[in-house]
Chain A
Amino acid sequence: MSSLTREEVEKVSLLARLRLSDDELTKMTEQMSQIVSYVELLNEVNTEDVEPMAHAVEQFNVFAEDEPHQSLPRDAALSNAPKRDDECFRVPAVLGD
């Protein structure tokens, strides 16, 4: 049975772009270990030569006609931005400090 370490869970929290408090990390480690142990039930299934099924309906490329059309106007697209200027979303500086 698999058990996740606190360090692993902390690493996943960075990948997931989530900041977890110490208490949350403790609880998350315990609960994720429990759930991951449960899903390992799948190990008993023989899946040799089984094609993975990503979608309920087998999907093929769906092409749209190459016709220009109106997209969402910029102002509408920016209308929910937590921070913006006239043209762009604003975020904290990415480079340097």
Chain B
Amino acid sequence: MALYEASATQLLSQLEAGEVTSVEVTQACLDQIRQHDGEVGAFLQVMDEKALAAAAEVDRKRKAGEPLGALAGVPVAVKDLLCTEGEVTTCASKMLKNFVPPYSSTVIKKLEAADAIILGKTNMDEFAMGGSTENSALGTTRNPWNTKLVPGGSSGGAAACLAARMVPLSIGTDTGGSIRQPASFCGVVGLKPTYGRVSRFGLIAFASSLDQIGPMARTAEDTALFLEAISGYDPSDSTSANVACPLFSKTVDKPLEGLRIGLVKEHFGDGLHKEVEGAVREAVKVYESLGATVTDISLPHNKYGIATYYIIAPSEASSNLARFDGAHYGHRCDEASMLEDLQKEKEALEAAGDELGLKKMDTPLIRMYRQSRAEGFGPEVKRRIMLGTYTLSAGYYDAYYLKALKVRRLIRDDYDKVFKSVDVIVGPTAPNPAFAAGSKTSNPLAMYLEDLYTVTANLAGIPAISIPCGTTADGLPIGLQMQAPALEEDRLLRAAYMYQKETDWHTKSPAM
């Protein structure tokens, strides 16, 4: 097996045994990126020199017998919305095209402390808003299984680089399915941890009550190891969970005895692709053969998930993205031409004697904000800011935002009830396999409806994983989603490991 195909767990044992060096592993991954990323477009930035220097330093430490971190010498990709001190961090937006963060996010610091080798920053939907990575303002990412198709999103680059064997570990973020859906489309593993499990400090916020950073990899073992390295309480994030972090990598290979699986009736209705349904039902049979029991369950408020999500997430986004004002950082319009335009507008209104128009005119500062944001943000980001501003505005707050918060509780209550009788909820990650680039861009609502199986885990704050469980007749990957109660990532990882031990879907790779 070539080095770039190996899992992080395999690489670590080879590195520890002195069979390979981190420089060799890093170079193998960089070569793979150079060879294939022209076609895939997973990366916005590749940090060749810095990565090789970091790898050489890990090799030196290892040789000298100095203490090493848990991911020592293993290459990692990072979604481009985690602040990385001194490295451009863009959120795939023109707004932040030149933004160089003055500090690093906690997850970046943890990766550095683990001696991981950060290879580059991956492409995504602008500000993580989207499900296809087509909303990136800075690059096009395609699905390595078929480059006419999207990789999913918003962590599309993060999933694509794993599928294309460019890197064994990749950081994603998930606000409504942004780790799990691209993992499903690209045939890799993606875990959205419990809200609060991983510190969000230094993560450029989209919807703060829903956002969560999580590990993406190709095997359950690697995912466990990776989650362990990035989890933990962080005083810099007041929402981070102040609980002990289990050693996921130590328990991942322990099978779950008497596993009780719940199948959500509502997940197998209209709109579910037949081949996806078939693969999911086959996967359930694998668990049954391992001794699991399966019960049909109902989450009656699940069908309100999308509506609830598309009120709450844009509301929070409109507030979070208010910080991009052209004054503190990020894009700012050209001031001279902006002032010139204002002057012309004023003269025209005066000539027309339009008193009301004159009164309503933007001040230079307001126009600077509006013009800078108009130029810096793409269409989907604008749409969500507008929606959120509307649902939070006077007269509409109760009808939309407050109502959504109440339904959010009902969605969570459904889960609480169901988890009294089942250990994990199993179902499809996405209703369809990867779709053609451009096929859904003109209808935002149709794109939103694709998130129906994933958003409720974010609303409830519970962990959920997507693992590869089959392919369509066209050879496209299909993802199996499993959800567990809060802080039970261990259960998901062990369940994933049990499945991967019996099947080989996770070993399939696209023909490149």
Please list the residues of chain A having a beta carbon within 8 angstroms of any beta carbon in chain B: 4, 8-9, 12-20, 24, 28, 31-32, 34-36, 38-43, 45, 47, 50-57, 59, 62, 64, 72, 76-77, 79-83, 89, 91-94, 97
Chain B interface (Cβ < 8 Å from any Cβ of A): 98-100, 102-103, 195-196, 209-210, 235, 238-239, 241, 301, 304, 306-308, 310-311, 318, 322, 325-332, 335, 339, 363-371, 373-374, 377, 382-383, 385-387, 389-390, 393, 400, 402-410, 412, 444-445, 448, 458-462, 486
Query: Of A4, A15, A53, A94, which one neighbours B365 at CB under 8 angstroms?
Result: A94
Q: Are B308 and A92 in contact (CB under 8 A)?
A: no
Counting chain B CB atoms within 10 Å of each CB, the highest count among A16, A24, A38 belongs to: A16
Residues of B within 8 A of A82 (CB): 326-327, 329-332
* Interface class of chain A by DSSP: loop
Residues of A within 8 A of B461 (CB): 55-57
Q: List chain B residues, Cβ under 8 A from A36.
A: 387, 390, 400
**In the complex with contacts A45-B301, A77-B102, A92-B339, A17-B409 CB distance below 8 A:** no
Q: Is the CB of B195 within 8 A of A64?
A: no
Would A19 and B374 be within 8 Å (CB), given that A57-B239, A92-B335 are in contact? yes
Beyond contacts A54-B405, A80-B329, A92-B365: 6 other A-B pairs, Cβ-Cβ < 8 A, are A12-B390, A18-B377, A45-B304, A47-B406, A55-B461, A79-B100
* Chain A contacts for B363, CB-based, 8 A: 94
Q: Is the CB of B238 within 8 A of A32?
A: no
Which chain A residues lie closer than 8 Å to B408 at the CB level? Answer: 52-53
Query: Does A47 lie within 8 Å of B386, measured CB to CB?
Result: no
Q: A18-B386, A47-B407 are in contact. Are A80 and B459 (CB under 8 A)?
A: no
Q: Chain B residues with Cβ under 8 A from A50's Cβ?
A: 406-407, 409-410
Is A89 in contact with B307, judged by CB distance below 8 angstroms? no
Most chain-A Cβ atoms within 10 A of its Cβ — which of B195, B209, B241? Answer: B209
Closest to B370 in A: A19
B367 surroundings in chain A (CB, below 8 A): 19, 92
Query: Would A47 and B102 be within 8 Å (CB), given that A89-B327, A92-B365 are in contact?
Result: no
Whether A62 and B386, one on each chain, are in contact in the complex, defined by CB atoms closer than 8 angstroms, is no
Distance in angstroms from A9 CB to nearest chain B CB is: 7
The 5 closest A-B pairs by CB, nearest first: A56-B461, A52-B405, A80-B329, A82-B332, A19-B370
Tell me, in angstroms, the Cα distance from A72 to B328 when the chains sit together.
Answer: 14
Chain B residues with Cβ below 8 Å from A14 are 366, 370
The CA of A89 and the CA of B328, in the complex, are separated in Å by: 7
Neighbouring B residues of A83 by C-beta, 8 Å: 332, 335
**Contact pick for A57, options B196, B311, B339, CB 8 Å:** B196
Closest to A79 in B: B102
With a CB–CB cut-off of 8 A, which chain A residues contact B377? Answer: 18
Would A42 and B308 be within 8 Å (CB), given that A16-B318, A59-B239 are in contact? yes
